[in-house]
Amino acid sequence: MVTSELPIAVFDSGVGGLTVLHECLVSLPHEDFVYLGDTARFPYGDRSADELRRFALELAGRLVDDGAKALVVACNSATAAAAPALREEFGTRLPVVTVVGPESRLAAGATTGGRVGLLATPATVASGAYERALAEHAPDAELFAVPCHALAPLIQAGGEVDERVVASVEDACAPLRENGVDTVILGCTHYPLVRPVIQRALGRGVEVITSGQAIADEVGEALAEAGIEREERRRGEYRFMCSGDAESFRAVGTRFLQLPLGEVRHVEVEAATAGSGR
């Protein structure tokens, strides 16, 4: 049974979803959160849709079975491949909030010329999820999608922003500039960590859309609608799990979350193999 005392569960392929969690912690400081990063199977961006659905259902099932009052899918690749399956499996039991939809709504409202760019992993681009979502909110808009193979792994590594990151961003943004986009969706939760580099590559006149605040707003609305919010006068807690090395997750994750992580618990997952490509 879902009760207000349960935490909000968040999962991602790695540490990128911590950019979403950060906004949730700021907007909903009275709520408890549990975060699961599937670092053993990162990156998700080059995996098949069937694999991603299986991973997403496994992670969501673990979190829901442990006790959660809402599920946040803070991974664009998992959302693109598994959102319908997740809602079918869990949506009657608790609110399921995903990326893609909120970002597309923001982009539809922000674009001035109907030319919207998308930077995302190959799996997310191939899914067509953003084309469908944007068409729902802005039928006349045109989407220019660029698959970024290397950017998420470079950011996940947790090093300084170096020439490799800059080169990867410049390569990805070049076709967007050529097509004259006025709005760009960052379709991977890792990308906000290098937003200044992306903004510089696109130019000051291009609106950059990220998912964090939109997701936090949607989570708050879902909790209110279900009547399962915590009292605002309390201070919530948050905890972390990962399927890979816990210490590496903690070290890199602190940069993404911009808050102390504390202890990170290791959990086992099925078929914990490295991603099929970069």
Burial environment of residue 65 by CB neighbours within 10 A (0 to 12, 13 to 18, 19 or more): exposed
The active-site residue, picked from 24, 148, 188, 242, is 188
Chain centroid to CA 236: 21
Count of residues making up the chain: 278
Three-state DSSP state, 14: coil
The active-site residue, picked from 24, 75, 173, 242, is 75
Strand pairing class (142-147; 183-187)? unpaired
Strands (E) across 138-245 are located at 142-147, 183-187, 207-209, 238-242
Tokens of 17: 């979803």
Q: Examine the residue annotation and report whether 75 is marked as an active-site residue of this protein.
A: yes
Helices 129-137 and 101-110: crossing angle in degrees, nearest 10, is 50
Q: Examine the residue annotation and report whether 188 is marked as an active-site residue of this protein.
A: yes
What share of residues in the chain are helix, strand, coil (percent, to 5)? 45, 15, 35
For 274, other C-beta atoms within 10 Å of its C-beta total: 10
DSSP string, 255-278: HHHSS----EEE---TT----S--
Nearest Cα neighbor of 220 from 24, 35, 69 is 24
ω into 7 cis (within 30 of 0): no
Q: Catalytic residues, which ones? A: 75, 188
